[in-house]
Chains A and B, each alone.
Chain A
Amino acid sequence: MKEKIKNSLKNSFVNLCRIIPMILAVVGLVGLFKAYITPQILQKFFNGNVIHDVLMGVIAGGVSVGQPFLSYIIGGELLKEGVSLYAVTAFILSFVTLGVVQLPLQIEIFGKRFTILFNVLSFIFTIIVSIVTVWTLKILGLV
């Protein structure tokens, strides 16, 4: 048991250390983003229309690459800059459910049929989950 605890502590520490350079890089980018990108620029991409914003969020998340925490940092900052929660939810969800860069690997391992089915369903359900989550929070008065 003592050995297992020691190994788990070591594994977790090593895993966390591995992602630290990426975290620092993203935090640096977020600082640049906040300083240089104005809300007016963002409004060109996210105009407040639910469907439009959700689709933009899904596309942005789907083409992005990286660990989930990156999407939380970016999404959190987008929210502070006035981007709608619909778009941010779609972004952080599609970041982990859809992955354009993973498509070739998925096709190679699972085949074309499975990959298409999985990604089409993921795309549709990411839109639905994003909208329903925000609706629920609004109904409950949490946002």
Chain B
Amino acid sequence: MKSGIIMLILVILIYIGLYLSGSDTVFLALNYSFKSLKKLSFVFIMVFVMMFLIDMFVNDKKIAKYFDSAKGIKAYLIAMIAGVLSHGSSYVWYPILQSLREKGVKDSLIITFLYARSIKIPWIPMMIAYFGTGFTVGLIIYIMVASLIQGLIVRKFFEGE
């Protein structure tokens, strides 16, 4: 939040600076910003709903447990699904993943999990608002496939299985 406030103050100062320098384009910039904000207001209601649903029904500890218990090819599917469902900052997940590695979970599974984490469920409404449903669905499917392939590549060439 602190960095956001600093950033916001900097942006306001830029606007003030441009206004004081006599640039008329600053009003055009302000107009564009208000239009963007208007567009985003509805999206944020959707984002709030997604955040609420994930907080209600997805439990990070349970995800880590399932992820740890799976074996064979099925394990990669579970790692991928766990990655998609996982939420929160990477900084929170890194120590959890490292402890799983120390308990014997393979690097290939961790890589599948980490790449699948690039699908951010709460932000899907925003992605759809900017890029459309077709793009969003296509990208999500390819990310899921890519996360599986990466895990299997590491398994085959770096873990010798």
Contacts and interface: CB of A to CB of B under 8 A. Distances in A.
Nearest to A35: B29
Contact of A137 (B52, B107, B135): B135
A53 to B, nearest CB: 16
By DSSP majority rule, is chain B's interface helix, strand, loop, or mixed? helix
Interface in B105-157: 107, 110-111, 114-115, 117-118, 120, 123, 126-127, 130-132, 134-135, 138-139, 142-143, 146, 149-150, 153-154
Nearest to A7: B55
Place the interface of chain A in its size category: 35 or more
B36 A30 contact: yes
Given A25-B8, A133-B135, A117 B143 contact: no
Contacts of A102: 90
Interface of B: 1, 3-5, 7-8, 10-12, 14-15, 18, 25-26, 28-34, 36-37, 40, 44, 47-48, 51-52, 55-56, 90-91, 94-95, 97-98, 101, 107, 110-111, 114-115, 117-118, 120, 123, 126-127, 130-132, 134-135, 138-139, 142-143, 146, 149-150, 153-154, 158
A75 B127 CA distance: 10
B36 A12 contact: no
Interface string A93-112: 10011010010011001100
**Residue among B14, B30, B34, B139 with max Cβ neighbours from chain A (10 Å):** B139
Contacts of B18: 32
A16 B48 CA distance: 7
A16 B43 CA distance: 12
Contacts of B44: 16
B107 A114 contact: yes
A50 interface: no
